[in-house]
Structure 1
Amino acid sequence: MIKLIKDIIPGLLVCFFLALIAIYTGKFIPTLGPAPLAIFLGLIAGNTFFTNSIYEKGSKFSEGDLLAYSIVLLGGTLSITEIFKLGLSGIVFIILQMIGTIAITLYIGGKLNFSKKFKILMASGNAVCGSSAIGATSPVINAEDNDKGLSITIVNLTGTLLMFLLIPIAKYFFQMDLHKTSALLGGILQSVGQVIAAGSMVNDHVLEMATLFKLVRVIFLVFVVTWISKKYNNLASKEIVTDTEIFLEKETYKKRNKKLGIPWYIIGFFILCVLFTLKLIPMELSKIFKFIAGKFELIALVGIGMRVKIKKLISQGPKATLYGLLVGASQIILAITLIKLLKI
């Protein structure tokens, strides 16, 4: 435990101090704000001065654990009635957008001759929740580390680009309408952190509703991974030559399926959300939750930026980057079409 904490500290400290710089600098650039600055600073730092592996566990902790804690705390600031504002059309939009994204990603990946495992990782990452979805899908199909690392890099880079691109698109097509803009951001962007960053560049109302759209997407992670485990379980099998190996392979597969479920931070979010709705969380405490959640989010955004490795993208050539950009463009077209058809 002590060793784990020591391993996390270097990268976590870098993320913390860069988040402070983003907060300070954001005061002088109010139109941009600290959230996108945090990602930019992390991107620059992670590809220049802090490339040593010593910072990896800390940036990963910031990107994953701290962001999860911030999501839980966010539940203590929202009433359950806010979730109902998504409406039936909002839920249908999320489902159709996810199904469409998976189908499009697999199709484009096939045309570009990528491996089946890499296509599946890209599909789950883009459709649900970026790195978290890729992490949940990887053991189900026994994905190689190279495929996992590259898919996380491409998905994070695509999401970072879309984070800035979607706002002018929302302004052009929807005149920054609250529901439509929130659906666009929450229905497309790959990670919760990117949704939070993009929403904060618009206003607090869009930030909250876009995050709700995104969290509902994350809830569907269990269905996506379960579907992948049933449809592609043959990809997880290895060459088996003895009865013992057959037994071990079956046990491993059972363990994988037992691990599938709704992420703990989503459950925590809804528990605090219910408590806040029942007025069991005082407003003073709710304000503290919001303050801490905001700071955790910024540190997490730095971590997201630090984990986008430009060298890895260059080493893989333009083909993988093209894949991500084509998927991102397709997601935008699909989302705009669905938002208009469903009259969100």
Structure 2
Amino acid sequence: MSKKTSFTVNDLIKTLPGILICVGIAILSKLLTIYIPKLGAPTLSILIGILVGNTIGQKEILNRGTKFCEHTLLSISIVFLGATLSISSILHIGFNGLGFIIIEMLIVTFSTIMIGKAMHFSQDFSLLMASGNAVCGSSAIAATAPVIFSNSRDKGISITMVNVTGTVLMLILPLLTSVFFNNGVEQSSAFIGGILQSVGQVVACGDMLSEKVKDLATIYKIVRIIFLVFIVFLLATIKEKSSAKAIEDVEAEIAGLHHHKSAIKIPWYIVGFFITCALHSFNIINTEFSHTFKEFSNFFEIIALAGIGMRVFIRDLLAQGIKTSLYCFYIAAVQIISSLVLVWILI
């Protein structure tokens, strides 16, 4: 018992420094919105996080806490967000919205694979890039990696490049929504939620436009994440068919995917989101409590975005060279162009 308690205390001590600096960045971001209201606290938080993480924040002691904020706090904020939305608000995207998501995900998946092949990247790297860009960034990459038997190097590079691409797009998309959709809620939400790689980036980007865009864009993003399991199976099948030598191994892996539950299951925070959403829809979580959940969700989001920013390392981006950066540029171009066309047609 004492060992377990000691471990828990040590674990907390190791995590606390990174959490504290992310909380500090979040508070600073909220204060700065008084002077820079158009950017909003979420965007400022991720930008300050990048600045700190690439300068004075490059310390090993902060890594555990920033990772906790990036993943756990963001996940909790999504669960809290569910308590502010009703089931009808999710169904609001309709069949057209669902069709937009499915078609966009397939276009991004196959385009990323084909571009990667044309640029002579390894198949595993292209498959990981396809998963991360089509679904949900580093979480999707982590889910895909064990199923296609990729090495840790491909996994690490793809996570870095997808996160950096998403951060750049997060700053560009509000300009595009202004030009092409006049910042209309429906089209802007689908555009942002259908493109950006992580939930945090969707939150920060949507917040630059309005609260309504942020919430609806997040719903589009969550629906994308629900399709994660199908994309993983699709990529596993592609890997299987392309490598005769690995057929038996991949088939065994697919047949025994229950041994890799952490790799392909729907993330726990999505389940939590729908539970709190249902509780709010049936008024078990009433309006007063819903407002409290909203406040917690917003603040946790800002803290999490600071953690995300602090873990975007410019040195890692530069280390990959121009070829990998061009690959990301081509993928982003496909995402933007295909989403523009599909939003005009379907939304």
**TM-score bin, normalised by smaller chain:** over 0.9
Cα distance in 2, alignment partners of residues 330 and 293 from structure 1: 32
Q: Which of 310, 314, 319 matches 2:318? A: 314
Give how far 1:233 is off.
4.9
Distance 1:253 1:207, change over 3 A: closer
Distance 1:101 1:317, change over 3 A: same
Report matched runs for 1:140-151 at 5 Å: 140-151=147-158
Name the structure 1 match of 2:63.
56
Contact 2:144–2:264 (CA under 8 A) maintained in structure 1: no
Residue 339 of structure 1 pairs with residue 346 of structure 2: no
Q: Name the amino acid aligned to 2:15.
A: I
Name the structure 2 match of 1:87.
94
Name the structure 2 match of 1:105.
112
Q: Size of the alignment, in residue pairs?
A: 337
Cα distance in 2, alignment partners of residues 170 and 330 from structure 1: 16
Q: Name the amino acid aligned to 1:134.
A: I
Residue 326 of structure 1 pairs with residue 333 of structure 2: no
Residue 42 of structure 1 pairs with residue 43 of structure 2: no
Contact 1:141–1:235 (CA under 8 A) maintained in structure 2: no
Residue 206 of structure 1 pairs with residue 213 of structure 2: yes
Summarize deviations over 1:216-250 as a string: whole Å, max 9, x none: 001101111122233325899999xxxxx99x989
Contact 2:147–2:253 (CA under 8 A) maintained in structure 1: no
Give how far 1:143 is off.
2.1
Contact 2:100–2:343 (CA under 8 A) maintained in structure 1: yes
Name the structure 2 match of 1:285.
289
Contact 1:237–1:249 (CA under 8 A) maintained in structure 2: no
Contact 2:181–2:187 (CA under 8 A) maintained in structure 1: yes
Match of 1:232, SS?
Answer: helix
Distance 1:114 1:197, change over 3 A: same
Give how far 1:204 is off.
0.9
Contact 2:143–2:262 (CA under 8 A) maintained in structure 1: no
Residue 261 of structure 1 pairs with residue 268 of structure 2: no
Q: Which of 296, 301, 319 matches 2:300? A: 296
Give how far 1:24 is off.
0.9
Contact 1:140–1:233 (CA under 8 A) maintained in structure 2: no
Cα distance in 1, alignment partners of residues 142 and 165 from structure 2: 17
Distance 1:258 1:65, change over 3 A: closer
Distance 1:216 1:173, change over 3 A: same
Cα distance in 1, alignment partners of residues 339 and 212 from structure 2: 20
Name the structure 2 match of 1:16.
23
Give how far 1:19 is off.
1.0
Name the structure 1 match of 2:191.
184
Cα distance in 1, alignment partners of residues 244 and 295 from structure 2: 47
Match of 1:113, SS?
Answer: coil
Match of 1:202, SS?
Answer: coil
Match of 2:36, SS?
Answer: coil
Report matched runs for 1:61-140 at 5 Å: 61-140=68-147
Q: Which moved more, 1:316-325 or 1:267-276?
A: 316-325
Residue 273 of structure 1 pairs with residue 280 of structure 2: no
Give the TM-score taking structure 2 as reference length: 0.92
Name the structure 2 match of 1:242.
none
Give how far 1:314 is off.
1.3
Cα distance in 2, alignment partners of residues 134 and 267 from structure 1: 20
Give how far 1:257 is off.
5.7
Summarize deviations over 1:76-117 as a string: whole Å, max 9, x none: 000111111101100000000000000111111112111111
Q: Which of 28, 40, 61 matches 1:33? A: 40
Name the structure 2 match of 1:168.
175
RMSD between aligned residues: 2.3
Cα distance in 2, alignment partners of residues 6 and 237 from structure 1: 49
Cα distance in 1, alignment partners of residues 85 and 243 from structure 2: 40
Summarize deviations over 1:195-214 as a string: whole Å, max 9, x none: 10011111111111111101
Contact 1:140–1:236 (CA under 8 A) maintained in structure 2: no
Name the structure 2 match of 1:152.
159
Name the structure 1 match of 2:200.
193
Cα distance in 2, alignment partners of residues 174 and 25 from structure 1: 28
Report sequence identity in percent: 44
Give how far 1:161 is off.
1.0
